[in-house]
Structure 1
Amino acid sequence: MKRRIEQLEQGSAIEVSIIMPCLNEAETLETCIKKAQWFIKENDLAGEVIIADNGSNDGSQGIARRLNARVVNVPAKGYGSALKGGIEAARGKYIIMGDADDSYDFSNLNPFVKKLRNGYDLVMGNRFKGGIESGAMPFLHRYLGNPVLTGIGKLLFNSPCNDFHCGLRGFRKEAISSLELQTTGMEFASEMVVKATLHKMQITEVPTTLSPDGRSRPPHLNTWRDGWRHLRFLLMYSPRWLFFYPGIFLILAGLLATLSLLPSPKVHSLLYSSTAMTIGFQIVMFALFTKIFGINEGLLPEDRRLNKLFKYLNLETGLISGCVLLVMGTSASIYAFGIWGQNNFGSLNPAETMPIVIPGVTCLALGMQTIFSSFFLSILGLKR
């Protein structure tokens, strides 16, 4: 009670908002609300329970109102939409979100509150450390889906989280609201972790127990559809791994292969290696396009290394580089044409001419790509 009086005196009436996204959860909603309310009362917190309803038609809203929980109607469909609506309506400094299927224990949220009070921006539950009860998680999710997607997320973003998709987590409202989360479906959980990591927020984990949910109907989660949406999101938010690294690999592999094949008669292999360089270059350009677009739209944070790079790689240097490649390609083409003329424009020995023609054509292609990519990058940068 003392803490609650102090908060009221300081003008912060609500410290903790407990949000539950809801779509036809009448079977378990009452249990979840009562546990959350017990936790608030038992720990003498200034708190509230919010039900972010996503269009339930089974009486869930009535149950919530009867128990004096706040009901926030969110017409836009989707797990992420429901949570965004609840977060926007929350009045607490700290928010704890969790599923309303009774798979998480809302009466034991002290570890989250303590970490938040200690200054952390995002406190993730970890079901693999806290325990997964028998029947609580399908075999495919437990041993394939969650570990693989979490591993990919840690690799792509160097995230400290070891359970990307835990539905029970706490965070500072101000911190997460500043991320301007966009996704509306199940991948909302991944977006929160990824953006918090990219923005270098303070993130930690606490052990969380997962119990079998209390519903008689199947869960809303679709294993393959939602798994793909999570994977797709992780890839799209990492231009470095999706585009840059594969592009650099193709450029280097193609260049090394080209240099080794030039003195040999294997001209057909030379064509493949040169094509690899061309494709790799375009993929690297996609990485830059995506990165700048993401930063401009607020999807990705500023990148200091990229800003330093563009002090030297601007439109003018791109045009000069492109023109140099065009001159090299044109020179090689003229030289090859001269050899053809010396043979009275008749049949040629491929082993003699193709090591000149193929690099020449490659330089022409790379030159044109460099010039027009430089213009496009400059257009993207006009806003900046």
Structure 2
Amino acid sequence: MTELTILMPCLNEAETLETCIVKANDYLKRSGVDGEVLIADNGSTDGSQDIAKGLGARVIDVPVKGYGAALGAGIKAAKGRFVIMGDSDDSYDFSNLDPFVKELRDGADLVMGNRFKGGIEKDAMPPLHRYLGNPVLSAVGRIFYHTPVGDFHCGLRGFSREAILGLHLNTPGMEFASEMVIRATLFDLDIREVPTTLKPDGRSRPPHLRSWRDGWLHLKLLLTFAPYWLFYYPGLVMFWVGLVSFLALMLGPVVVGGITFDVATMILAGALLLTGFQMVCFYVLSRIFAVRFNLLPTSRRFERLRSKITVDNACILGGILLLIAMIATLSGVFSWGATGFGDLDAREIVRPTTLAVVCASLGVQSITTGFLASMLQQEIRPNPK
């Protein structure tokens, strides 16, 4: 088996493709690494395929559009045990891949380049990307996933082909780069980082990257694979703040620093409580789904939680909450009846009414979440022919 595939996605890169392939071929010749240069062409119409073939590179056609689609197809088609991927715009130095090969031979599953450590030449990266986009998204990635990577979006990276294929990456666009790092981290692959350089690309046309659109795609992906941060943590905060506030205001007005909080605040606290509870339920359901389909790894703590989320337990909890709601409703009706079903002081009727609405909503959410969680955990059987 070939040791190394140098993979380049390509879409109308005739201006720079030759330079990149020549550098890659020179590296393979100089280093003595048994390798190939593979071009994953995404529908070029400028003769890029002929340029690549003329220089001895192998070319595969990728009809599905997108950076991720091209790279995914290229990884599957690669003959190398290791793959080093990089853009074919001559912004990365394919003549100096020794640090990547060294780490891969040492057992690394994914070796990320770090442009901030290796050096970014003048005009090589727009200020928006250099000082905002990349640092912010990389910081979010480190906070959410504890990823040991300082440059989340470096396009020059090497990896074990077998390890990355095992992650079943499937995003077709620019967010493929983030998906690779996220899933490699979640599944405990050996990730390392080496300095690399970035220089201005050699193209006369604008890059395919669209700053705000692709930045949003990367951020969405970071949140999608982090149900803790998307649902659980904010939901838990809202739930407890709402619950404590709601219970305190159920007993009567609360004065803090000369400001009186009463039934209006209690209604808002009830809304916060319901929203937080729903977000925690979303966390449980999304985590069950993600673990079921191998999108996220499981854990002993989550398995303990999942074992307690049964239809029976959900119905017991929901039944208790619905019973409280019914009692609160009857209390409000009796209070109204005591006045001959005439006018009531809003502050008196709002408390039991709000309690009834909140408990009824929580009860229904509990029961439906239990049934849906059970449905997501049912055994999947093949359809009979």
Aligning the two structures, in what range does the TM-score lie when normalised by the shorter sequence?
over 0.9
1:121-172 Cα shifts (integer Å, max 9, x gaps)? 0000000000000010001000001011111111111111110000000000
In structure 1, the partner of 2:302 is 306
In structure 2, the partner of 1:34 is 22
Which of 75, 82, 91 is the matching residue for 1:87? Answer: 75
In structure 2, the partner of 1:5 is none
Judge which range, 59-68 or 293-302, deviates more. 293-302
In structure 2, the partner of 1:4 is none
CA distance in 1, matches of 2:304, 2:248: 34
Does 2:363 align with 1:367? yes
In structure 2, the partner of 1:177 is 165
Kindly state the Cα deviation for residue 302 of structure 1 after the two structures are TM-superposed: 2.6
Instruction: Report 1:96-175 matches (<5 A).
Output: 96-175=84-163
| Alignment check: 8 A CA contact 1:125 1:168 kept | yes
Which of 353, 372, 375 is the matching residue for 1:379? Answer: 375
Instruction: Report 1:319-338 matches (<5 A).
Output: 319-338=315-334
1:214-237 Cα shifts (integer Å, max 9, x gaps)? 111111101111111111111112
| Alignment check: 8 A CA contact 2:309 2:373 kept | no
1:303-343 Cα shifts (integer Å, max 9, x gaps)? 33221112222111111111011111111211221111111
In structure 1, the partner of 2:192 is 204
CA distance in 1, matches of 2:340, 2:117: 78
CA distance in 1, matches of 2:379, 2:318: 24
1:226-263 Cα shifts (integer Å, max 9, x gaps)? 11111111111211111111111111111121122223
| Alignment check: 8 A CA contact 2:231 2:283 kept | yes
Judge which range, 37-46 or 163-172, deviates more. 37-46
Partner secondary structure for residue 309 of structure 1: helix
CA distance in 1, matches of 2:274, 2:108: 46
Judge which range, 142-151 or 328-337, deviates more. 328-337
CA distance in 1, matches of 2:379, 2:5: 38
In structure 2, the partner of 1:78 is 66
Partner secondary structure for residue 326 of structure 2: helix
Kindly state the Cα deviation for residue 354 of structure 1 after the two structures are TM-superposed: 2.1
CA distance in 1, matches of 2:219, 2:164: 22
CA distance in 1, matches of 2:200, 2:179: 25
Partner secondary structure for residue 93 of structure 1: strand
| Alignment check: 8 A CA contact 1:296 1:383 kept | no
In structure 2, the partner of 1:195 is 183
In structure 2, the partner of 1:8 is none
In structure 2, the partner of 1:354 is 350
Identity %: 53
Corresponding residue pairs, total: 372
CA distance in 2, matches of 1:22, 1:199: 29
Kindly state the Cα deviation for residue 352 of structure 1 after the two structures are TM-superposed: 2.4
TM-score, length-scaled by structure 2: 0.94
In structure 1, the partner of 2:313 is 317
In structure 2, the partner of 1:240 is 228
AA aligned to 1:87 is I
CA distance in 2, matches of 1:350, 1:149: 49
Q: Aligned-residue CA RMSD in angstroms?
A: 1.1
| Alignment check: 8 A CA contact 2:167 2:183 kept | yes
Kindly state the Cα deviation for residue 199 of structure 1 after the two structures are TM-superposed: 0.3
CA distance in 2, matches of 1:345, 1:236: 51
CA distance in 2, matches of 1:303, 1:315: 22
Partner secondary structure for residue 58 of structure 1: coil
In structure 2, the partner of 1:7 is none
CA distance in 2, matches of 1:50, 1:133: 27
AA aligned to 2:147 is S
Kindly state the Cα deviation for residue 358 of structure 1 after the two structures are TM-superposed: 1.2
AA aligned to 1:21 is P
Which of 209, 212, 234 is the matching residue for 1:224? Answer: 212
CA distance in 1, matches of 2:225, 2:240: 24
Judge which range, 302-311 or 122-131, deviates more. 302-311
CA distance in 2, matches of 1:177, 1:29: 26
| Alignment check: 8 A CA contact 1:112 1:123 kept | yes
Does 2:61 align with 1:65? no
AA aligned to 1:193 is V
| Alignment check: 8 A CA contact 1:251 1:281 kept | yes
| Alignment check: 8 A CA contact 2:234 2:276 kept | yes
Partner secondary structure for residue 302 of structure 1: coil
| Alignment check: 8 A CA contact 2:142 2:149 kept | yes
CA distance in 1, matches of 2:200, 2:337: 80
In structure 2, the partner of 1:25 is 13
Does 2:273 align with 1:255? no
Which of 271, 275, 278 is the matching residue for 2:267? Answer: 271
